[in-house]
Amino acid sequence: MCQLLGVSARKPVSAAFALQGFLLRGGETDQHADGWGIGYYQGEHARMLREARAAAHSGLALRIREQQIRSRNFIVHVRKATRGGIAERNCHPFRRELWGRSWLFAHNGDLGSALPWSHGLFQPIGETDSERAFCLLLNQLVDHFGLRRPPDDVLDAAISAAADRLAQHGSFNFLLSDGNRLYARCATQLFHVERRYPFAQVELIDCAQQIDLARHNHLDDRISVIATQPLTRGENWQAFAPGELKVFERGAERNIRTALETRPLIYA
């Protein structure tokens, strides 16, 4: 299986400290050595870098950490290949354009060979079940709402319903973002922590590095970090419930309406 890392922040932040520990899981402190990728937003547009090699031994991954990239939303992934060969096209996150915004998606799990093929506007480029699921989800949204984005609460409910349908095929932990909102769904294992005043001093689990968050954040900063497994000691990481979908915006968790008020979503 793979591992996921997501960050949602009130203001643009650097994810360098989290990356220092998380990317070691790509071939050093864990066995996810078949590729890695990072997606982040600059305005409405997503930037993405992917590489079909172990993140822990990647010069590119090291440069990304050193650049101190700042964004309000990050999605990061280290891959252990299950479906699809070791190639850049099969590395997460995946990116598509919908409703004038870039969407990023990364998945941890196995949805099986019975996952339907996508027959709509969005088609996979690689061979992974993950990218196919992403395309299926976006095609369902287009079939349901057309080319005009619905209100956030309606969209949240639609994504929740679509995710539940796709999860019938197997394990579906994922991160999804349009640059404003970050969706995180747990099937088997996912944790999150919210960082706000008073900030703590924390230590990475994967290496002997500490940071005093109070020295690097302002009083009004608010950051939510989501990960397959906790990244730090000294913080109160909260486990998702199996099947739970959470949405984060500007560092805070938002409520999701669970019931659709319009017709049910169906596969294209």
Q: Write out the chain's pLDDT in tens, 268 residues.
A: 799 999 999 999 999 999 999 999 999 999 899 999 999 999 888 999 999 999 999 999 999 989 989 999 999 999 999 888 999 999 999 999 999 999 999 999 999 877 887 788 999 999 999 999 999 999 999 999 998 999 999 999 999 999 999 999 999 999 999 999 999 999 999 999 999 999 999 999 999 999 999 998 899 999 999 999 999 999 999 999 999 999 999 999 998 754 344 444 444 3
DSSP class of residue 219 equals T
CATH class of 3-254: alpha beta
Percent helix, strand and coil across the chain, each rounded to 5?
25, 35, 45
Which letter, b or e, does each residue of 88-121 get, where b requires 16 or more Cβ atoms within 10 Å of its Cβ?
ebbbbbbbbebbebbbbbbbbbbbeeebeebeee
pLDDT, residue 257, reads 58
Selecting among 2, 91, 135, 186, the annotated active-site residue is 2
- Read off the pTM: 0.93
- Please list, in sequence order, all residues whose beta carbon lies within 8 angstroms of the beta carbon of residue 249, skipping any fewer than 6 positions away: 8, 180, 181, 182
Contacts 24+ apart (CB under 8 A), 141-147: 141/98, 142/98, 143/265, 143/266, 143/268, 144/262, 144/263, 144/265, 147/99
- Active-site residue, 207 included: no
Tokens of residue 145, six digits: 């709402």
Terminal-residue alpha carbon distance, the chain: 28
Backbone angles phi, psi at 59, to 5 degrees: -65, -35
pLDDT, residue 117, reads 79
Q: Count CB neighbours of 267 within 10 A.
A: 15
Q: Please state, in angstroms and rounded to a whole number, the distance separating the CA atoms of residues 14 and 59.
A: 19
Is 124 strand, coil or helix?
coil
Domains of the chain, residue spans: 3-254
Across the strands, what pairs with 216? none
